[in-house]
Amino acid sequence: MVWKGVQEKCDSSKCSMCPGNRISEIFPENWRGLENSLQTLILVDNTLSSLPPDAFSNLPNLETLDMSGNDLLGFDPSTFHNGPARLSSLYLADNQLTSIPYQQVSALRLLRTLDLSGNMISHLHSATSEPEQPGVQLSLDTLRLDYNQIQYLPPGSFQHFDILNRTFLDGNPLFMVEADAFRDARIRELSLRDCGVTALSPGAFSGLEPSLQLLDLAGNNLTVLPNHLFHDFDFLRTLYLAENRVAGVNPGDALNGFQYSLYRLDFSGRQMGVTALHDLRRIRNLRSIILSKIPQNQIGPDDFVEFGVDLEEIKIQESNLKTLKNHAFKHVRGLKRLDLSENNIKQVEPDAFVEVTGLSYGLKGYTRVRQLLCHRQVGHSLTFLRVAHGFSSSVSSVPSESLKPLVNLQYLDLSNNRLSSMPETSFHFLRKLRILELQDNQLDQVHKGTFQGGIHSSLEKLYLSYNNLNSINTHTFVDLSSLERLHLDDNKINRLERRAFMNMDRLKYLDLRGNKIQSISDEAFQNLPELQTLDLAYNELKGFDFAAMDQVGVLASFRLNMSHNRMQSLEVNVSSLSGREGGLFHSNIKVLDMSHNNISWIARGYLRPLEISVTHLYLGNNALQNATREVFGNMPHLQWLDLSGNSISELDFDVFRNTRRLQVVRLDRNLLTDIPSELFRSLSSLRVVDLSSNRLRNLPDGLFMDEGMESLTVSHNQLGRVPASCLGTSAAATLVEMDLSHNLIASLQGSEMFNRLRVTITCWRSFISFLLHNFTSSLLRVNITCWRSFISFLLHNFTSSLQGVELSNRLRSLSRLDLSSNKITRIDDGTFSPLNRLAHLDLSHNQGMLVENKGRGFKGLEDSLLYLGLANCSMGSVPELPLHGLRSLDLSHNYFPDMPLEMTVNMTSLRRLDLSYNELSTVPMVAQSLPQLRELSLAGNPITSLTNTTMIGGAQRLKELDIRQLPLNFFETGALSKMTSLRTLHLSPFKGVRHFNIPQVILSNSGLRQLHVECHEHPGLQDEMNGVLPRKVRNITMSGEQLRSLPHNLLQGVRSPRLHFVVRNSSLDVIPRSVFQEAGWARNLTVDVRHNSLRTLGNPSTADFPGLPRATFLTDLQVADNRWSCDCDIGYLLIYNLHPFMISLTFTCTVGNAALTYPYSPLSLQACTMESFHCKSAASSFGGIRYRLFHHQLLSWVEVWQRKKRQYLCGEEDSEERTTCRRIDDDLRLARCANKNNASLIEVLKADVECGWGSSAGGPDVTTPLVVIAGIIAMFANI
């Protein structure tokens, strides 16, 4: 698409946001009218490959320009030669730049941020090479070069930069940083995270001594730190060395150069060496310490002796801490943040957070020593405490005594442990607590008085999700004046008692989804005036009394979600009809969702309490059989009504009698055979109606009469003709979309949809003629049909001027028309000529349809039509299509042997062409003659060879190519190499091509992002996927009914830091963990395996938490529509605990009928579990005695991953995104266990004893199986 101006895209004259619009070209004249006002221009995710000279010179006030995610290979040196003079932020991330555009941006004197991340840059200039432009010196606040291809930094790499406050080189494959690489760079903050650096020379950072304040080397492969590496770095304040392999180094010695300057030190990581706290004492001004391994398993007061008073943060994770001793933090009086997550703490002594000091003094004339004990708590300074997944499984109660001194604590996180009890006074001394996280424990009760308004007046957010709470008793949550969010989702709550939630003036969000609530007592919710969302979805409610919503919710936005319950018949409760103080009760419910129940009947008056408040009502996917006036006829403010997916066969003609503000009505997927002609007569605001998937044979005349109608969907019915007469003139004039697909329409009869208007005009003329010439004659001489038509026209269109009525005005706003999958046999001349705004027309799947060769059937659409679908119409030749503005053409599944070049003359704007599944034997020349063509599908044609010249001419422009299921016997090396802008490639493993290798085929496609491999045969794919993929490939899709197994090396070639992996419509039974075990360089992984036949899925994560180098963490998972076998084989891991005296251990794992025996090691056990094999037994020997283990504790990786995701990915601050992140995705709730009576996967995980919801809390890590003998039968036997 060529740019047509930003005015239509943006709401503000100061900010133009145009992402993802497929813009391929821009010109200076595009900004006409915005020259003096535009400050921010967003062109993200378009298809720009070049920039013309002075592209932005006429935007003098432009400050921010974002062109990330395009295909820029470079741009003209004069692009920014004349400005914009005020441009300060330029984002060019995720393009295909191969060098830093020094010359191009040198004229931007105010430029402060330059983002070049995710490009193909392989080097910076060295001192020995000739500079591209002598004298170029850039001064930037931020330079981003992360995730490029820079392999080494030679001396003088930053010679073209005067000042670089912050420089990011993360994710580059750096193997060498030479001395003087940063000479004269004046960088303040330097990040080299996750670069794979193995060694640093003593002079690696020389030149940065006077400027460097922050250095991030986390996630590399460093094993040693040179002694003088940081010599003379007097200004270095922050040093991150986390997740390296530095062992046997005393940080105090290695970092001796800045013992008085360093503020923050991160020395954490599983493979880092042991670091003693006392070794850090000499770094006097430390404010933050992050460690993973300390030599002792306890923290006591001596550990922080001589630490400075400035120490504010201590984070000790994965250090196997077991005890916090009394007065442990007495010497760090300014401590504000303490994080002890991922430990094994068994005891927190009562005075762990208490400081005891002694004071001696003398009196004049004699000596008297008096000891004054002053109890001074670290809680006076501590505001943040996190012990997530930090307690041993033996700690079952909140350590309330130890927490008492923390009187100033504001944030407390005890999530993801095995806490089962919470004393009533647990938090009574924490009066300033704002956020409390207790989710993912085993708490079974919240006592009355645990949270009190007089004590917890500052509490804003409380998380109790994923516990074992079974009821909420009276006054459990009461008078909490500041509480805004309360999360109780996914517990085992079966009842809410009277006044369980009361007098919380600021509560906005209450989440109770995923429980077992069967009943709600009267007044369970009382005086919650600001409540905006009450979520009761996925419970076991069989009914609901709206009286419970008295004094609840803010009228402007209160949403009540009761979807996915067990409601069948909604009866009227007398209490619902009267308020607590007498009179008719009206709730504040604005949005009510009762979808996905089994409601078959709604009693008259049941919805009366919300009639005057509700604006959105969702009743889809129930079992309703009719819709009556008594239920839906008196909701004056209702705008959206969803009755889809029911069994409605009858509608009252006045069902919406007083519900006159309806804008959207969904009646799709019901059993309707007819629609009352008066049904929508009173709905003057109606915009969208969906009647699809019913049994309608026709629609009554005049069904829609008022203007404002925008969308009508009547697909998947039994219509025999276009229902033109259902639209009055006013409604027809505003209609934008009409979907008539999947019906029985056989003919359009020469613009039949306009016949009614033509008849009306003809009859009007006949009547006028009659009045003029035959006034004295009998009225019976007038054609009775014309008379009736005229009367009807006067009744329904009286306000319209008949003189201005033209055929083109009948549906003058229609832009989308779908007539696919009908029985249309012919398109006559001028059929669509009155539809001069039609942009989308789909006539696909009308087999045998004849289209006039000269294309006169599409006359009138030359400039408006953007999409035309003619797929599967039994066409043997391509009709002439004089459609100059056409952007997308679907000609798939026809019988075309070739494509005439003549067709390109009239379709110069075509961007997408689908020629799949025709009879083409070669790639047609037409594909090379369309200047704007960006997407081409040739799948399923009898094409036998692809060569270097096949796509010559148009190759560089293509963004998407589909060559699946071609019977190729020759695929020339480099056939796709000229497609430098290719982003998406669909292909199959071509068995007819010898040594066919996909990574080799796409080696030169540096811009490729999406790769789809469809298997129509069963090749195995191990050889076909062996190799390195282009660096930008971040979406890999595998599909095909013949796909029955995945090779272990499938993802090994991935070089992108993030990966979206999809398996769709396959015949796979299992995806083993080994597929994900070596997922290339991917750090963040999303997996979508919906719509398959899977029974087992191995754990995709190889990391326990995100951000680990050389490991992958799952960030999202979709698994619905499979046949999961939920018997601890759906990716459950065998978890043991290792007795310290065990010397050897063997595992016997069964694979089908075969048995494999492994000697114990973490890797061998992992190898067993990664394949989702079922390990039957394990044996160990010690002292000549052999023990055989018959019982195994099984742990679901799905459950553990959900916990880890909530712990690490959902953040500390609340937002809508974080709320969604914390929840169990609906996809996991909808996933079913075939061997558990089709029960929900999540419910099986919660209920199963072996693989239970809480079995993993506080347990060992997912990827590091530990071995324990606990509650296991032991047998003695000879070796």
pLDDT in tens, 901-914: 887 788 889 999 99
- Strand pairing class (601-602; 569-570): parallel
pLDDT digits (tens, 9 = 90+) for 377-392: 577 899 999 999 999 9
Task: Give Cα 948 to chain centroid, integer Å.
Answer: 39
Q: Which two three-digit tokens encode residue 881?
A: 């299509």
Q: Give domain status of residue 1153, yes or no.
A: yes
Residue 867 phi/psi, 5-degree rounding, is: -130, 135
248: left (phi over 0), alpha (psi -120 to 50) or beta: left
Q: How confident is the model at residue 172 (pLDDT cuts 50, 70, 90)?
A: very high
Q: Which two three-digit tokens encode residue 217?
A: 């080397």
Q: What number of CA atoms fall less than 13 Å from residue 285's CA on the CB side?
A: 12
Q: Give domain status of residue 107, yes or no.
A: no
Q: Which helix (H) or strand (E) holds 1229?
A: helix 1226-1230
Q: What percent of the chain has pLDDT over 90?
A: 58
pLDDT digits (tens, 9 = 90+) for 1129-1188: 444 443 333 333 333 344 444 444 444 444 444 344 444 433 333 333 344 333 333 333
Query: What's the whole-number mean pLDDT along residues 796-818?
Result: 58
Q: Give domain status of residue 1176, yes or no.
A: yes
Alpha carbon distance 658, 724 (integer Å): 27
pLDDT digits (tens, 9 = 90+) for 333-343: 899 999 999 99
Q: Give domain status of residue 1182, yes or no.
A: yes
- Strand pairing class (354-357; 374-377): antiparallel
pLDDT score, position 941:
96
Tell me the helix, strand and coil percentages in the chain, rounded to 5: 15, 20, 65
Determine which of 273-287, 459-473, 515-529, 816-830 has the lowest per-residue pLDDT on average.
Answer: 273-287
pLDDT digits (tens, 9 = 90+) for 759-793: 444 444 455 554 445 444 444 444 554 555 555 54
Q: Give domain status of residue 1162, yes or no.
A: yes
Q: Which two three-digit tokens encode residue 1076?
A: 């994900």
Beta bridge partners of 266: 240, 290
pLDDT score, position 579:
54
pLDDT digits (tens, 9 = 90+) for 600-659: 999 999 999 999 999 999 999 999 999 999 999 999 999 999 999 999 999 999 999 999
Q: Which two three-digit tokens encode residue 788?
A: 């009736």
Q: Work out the number of other CB atoms within 10 angstroms of the CB of residue 1173.
A: 23
**Res. 251: pLDDT tops 70:** no
Residue 239 phi/psi, 5-degree rounding, is: -135, 120
pLDDT score, position 135:
63
Residue 417 phi/psi, 5-degree rounding, is: -125, -160
pLDDT score, position 1144:
39
Q: Which of 222-231, 241-250, 878-887, 1007-1016 has the highest mean pLDDT?
A: 1007-1016
**How is residue 196 annotated by DSSP?**
-
**Res. 1000: pLDDT tops 90:** yes
* Residues spanned by the domain of 1197: 1132-1247
How many domains in the chain?
A: 2
Decide: 1126 and 1100 in contact? Cβ < 8 Å: no
Burial class of residue 52, CB neighbours in 10 A (0-12, 13-18, 19+): middle
Q: Give domain status of residue 1193, yes or no.
A: yes
Q: Give domain status of residue 50, yes or no.
A: no
Q: Which of 82-96, 246-260, 743-757, 900-914 has the highest mean pLDDT?
A: 82-96
**How is residue 22 annotated by DSSP?**
-
Average pLDDT, the chain: 83
Q: Give domain status of residue 1160, yes or no.
A: yes
- Of 589, 583, 464, whose CA–CA distance to 528 is shortest? 589
- Of 505, 494, 496, 454, whose CA–CA distance to 476 is shortest? 496
- Inter-helix orientation angle 755-773/784-796, to 10°: 110
Alpha carbon distance 131, 234 (integer Å): 32
Residue type, 725: S
Decide: 117 and 95 in contact? Cβ < 8 Å: no
pLDDT score, position 1263:
33
**How much is the pTM?**
0.88
**Res. 192: pLDDT tops 70:** yes
Q: Which two three-digit tokens encode residue 512?
A: 């109770």
Q: What percent of the chain has pLDDT over 70?
A: 81
pLDDT digits (tens, 9 = 90+) for 693-751: 999 999 999 999 999 999 999 999 999 999 989 999 999 999 999 999 999 999 886 44
pLDDT digits (tens, 9 = 90+) for 659-708: 999 999 999 999 999 999 999 998 999 999 999 999 999 999 999 999 99
pLDDT score, position 17:
64
Q: How confident is the model at residue 360 (pLDDT cuts 50, 70, 90)?
A: very low
Residue type, 207: G
**Res. 178: pLDDT tops 50:** yes
Query: What's the whole-number mean pLDDT along residues 1189-1218?
Result: 69
Alpha carbon distance 477, 502 (integer Å): 6
pLDDT score, position 699:
95
Q: Write the CA distances from 1256 to 260, 856, 1194, 1249, integer angstroms.
A: 44, 69, 9, 12
Q: Is 766 helix (H, G, I), strand (E, B) or coil?
A: helix
Decide: 1233 and 1102 in contact? Cβ < 8 Å: no
Q: What number of CA atoms fall less than 13 Å from residue 616's CA on the CB side?
A: 12
Q: What number of CA atoms fall less than 13 Å from residue 1098's CA on the CB side?
A: 22
Q: Write the CA distances from 127 to 158, 160, 190, integer angstroms.
A: 9, 10, 20
Tell me the three-class secondary structure of 585-627, residue by residue.
CCCCEEEEECCCCCCCEECCCCCHHHCCCCCEEECCCCCCCEE
**Res. 794: pLDDT tops 80:** no
- The residue behind tokens 């002079």 is 203
Residues whose CB is less than 8 angstroms from the CB of residue 1152 and which lie 6 or more positions away in sequence, other chains included: none
Angle (nearest 5°) at CA 263 between 258 and 266 = 95
Decide: 152 and 175 in contact? Cβ < 8 Å: yes
pLDDT digits (tens, 9 = 90+) for 90-126: 999 999 999 999 988 988 999 999 999 999 999 887 4
- Of 1040, 1099, 1051, whose CA–CA distance to 1071 is shortest? 1099
Per-residue DSSP letters for 323-350? EE-TTTTTT-TT--EEE--SS-B-EE-T
- Strand pairing class (960-963; 640-642): unpaired
- Of 28, 31, 27, whose CA–CA distance to 7 is shortest? 31
Q: How confident is the model at residue 12 (pLDDT cuts 50, 70, 90)?
A: low
Residue 748 phi/psi, 5-degree rounding, is: -95, -10
Of residues 159 and 1247, more confidently modeled: 159
Alpha carbon distance 818, 820 (integer Å): 6
Per-residue DSSP letters for 113-171? EEE-TTS-------TTSPPSSTT--EEEEEEE-TTS---EE-TTTTTTEEEEEEEE-TT
